[in-house]
């Protein structure tokens, strides 16, 4: 890898530790295999090259070598498994706070995207196993050009700051914030949720989205105490645990 990640290894909070792979299909898949083999909580699988990175619903994730970070964190949360979906909010908030540490203003598109100026800079994919969870994070750091299909909706830290930020510095910032936020999915969730609500880019906007019951549209009233998205339609207010293809609509 062009950049030396060993410079941050000793500074990562416990129990986080770094494992660098030259090339993997997906860091989430690699972390899952290691989890099934008994790897302990806190393992960070970082890929120099990710050939089959994916987002939610299996969508491909643009991850050019040397320009972005693609990594997955293995967790074995002590909290009840029903609370594990909150890890997406914890990770999104940690990434947003890391972005802000570089002088930018970040927003969270519930539940798992981080935006700068309504452009996507990072995505999160949380997957659960029987006794572990994998938090995959991809963030555009040095990219200055994107494929045509995402060019109008994506950005990077370098585009937004006008300077080149070392990849290890970005990774260390994310892990420092995630170390705190992942511990707040049970006790402390009110504090986590308050910070997410401050950054929620959907609140007050009309959206369309896809749920397990089909497409819906309405106005987002905010985020419920349990982390659900509050969607007001003409007839009611629904609490959504999961939704895909959330799109802002013209007002």
Q: Looking at the structure, tell me whether residues 240 and 124 fall in a common domain.
A: no
Q: Looking at the structure, tell me whether residues 150 and 213 fall in a common domain.
A: no
Q: Looking at the structure, tell me whether residues 224 and 191 fall in a common domain.
A: no
**82 domain-assigned:** yes
Q: Please report the pLDDT score of residue 58 as a whole number.
A: 47
Q: Under a CB-based contact definition with an 8 Å cutoff, are residues 73 and 137 in contact? A: yes
**93 domain-assigned:** yes
Question: Smallest Cα–Cα separation from 137: which of 113, 104, 116, 111?
Answer: 113
Q: Looking at the structure, tell me whether residues 120 and 236 fall in a common domain.
A: no
Domain that holds residue 219: 206-248
Q: Looking at the structure, tell me whether residues 53 and 95 fall in a common domain.
A: yes
pLDDT band at 239 (very low <50, low <70, confident <90, very high): very high
Identify the CATH number of the domain in which residue 173 sits: 3.30.930.10
Q: Looking at the structure, tell me whether residues 190 and 210 fall in a common domain.
A: no
Sign of CA dihedral 4, 6, 10, 14: positive
**1 domain-assigned:** no
pLDDT, tens digit, 9 for 90 and up, residues 119-160:
999 999 999 999 999 999 999 999 999 988 888 999 999 999
Residue 54 has pLDDT above 80, yes or no: no
Q: Looking at the structure, tell me whether residues 184 and 114 fall in a common domain.
A: yes
Residue 43 has pLDDT above 90, yes or no: yes
Question: Smallest Cα–Cα separation from 134: which of 14, 21, 34?
Answer: 34
Residue 20 has pLDDT above 90, yes or no: yes
Q: Looking at the structure, tell me whether residues 42 and 64 fall in a common domain.
A: yes
Q: Is 203 helix (H, G, I), strand (E, B) or coil?
A: coil
- Domain finish residue from 158, 183, 199: 199
Q: Is 149 helix (H, G, I), strand (E, B) or coil?
A: coil
Question: Smallest Cα–Cα separation from 125: which of 117, 40, 134?
Answer: 134
Identify the CATH number of the domain in which residue 235 sits: 2.30.30.100
Q: Please report the pLDDT score of residue 136 as a whole number.
A: 97
Q: Looking at the structure, tell me whether residues 26 and 140 fall in a common domain.
A: yes
pLDDT, tens digit, 9 for 90 and up, residues 83-117:
999 999 999 999 999 999 999 999 999 988 999 99
pLDDT, tens digit, 9 for 90 and up, residues 118-129:
999 999 999 999
Q: Looking at the structure, tell me whether residues 119 and 58 fall in a common domain.
A: yes
């Amino acid at each position: 890898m062009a950049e030396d990640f060993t410079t941050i290894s000793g500074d990562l909070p416990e129990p986080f530790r770094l494992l660098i792979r030259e090339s993997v299909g997906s860091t989430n898949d690699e972390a899952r295999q290691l989890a099934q083999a008994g790897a302990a909580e806190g393992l960070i699988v970082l890929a120099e090259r990710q050939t089959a990175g994916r987002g939610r619903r299996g969508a491909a994730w643009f991850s050019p070598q040397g320009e972005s970070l693609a990594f997955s964190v293995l967790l074995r949360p002590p909290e009840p498994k029903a609370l594990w979906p909150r890890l997406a909010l914890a990770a999104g908030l940690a990434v947003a706070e890391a972005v802000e540490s570089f002088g930018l203003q970040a927003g969270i598109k519930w539940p798992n995207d981080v935006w700068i100026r309504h452009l996507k800079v990072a995505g999160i994919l949380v997957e659960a196993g029987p006794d572990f969870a994998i938090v995959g994070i991809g963030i555009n750091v040095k990219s200055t050009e994107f494929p045509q299909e995402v060019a109008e909706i994506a950005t990077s830290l370098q585009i937004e700051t006008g300077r080149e930020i070392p990849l290890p510095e970005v990774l260390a910032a994310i892990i420092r914030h995630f170390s705190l936020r992942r511990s707040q999915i049970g006790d402390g969730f009110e504090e986590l949720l308050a910070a997410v609500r401050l950054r929620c880019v959907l609140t007050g906007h009309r959206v369309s989205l896809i749920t397990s019951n089909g497409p819906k549209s309405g106005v987002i009233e905010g985020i419920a105490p349990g982390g659900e998205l509050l969607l007001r339609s003409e007839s009611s207010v629904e609490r959504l645990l999961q939704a895909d293809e959330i799109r802002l609509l013209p007002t």
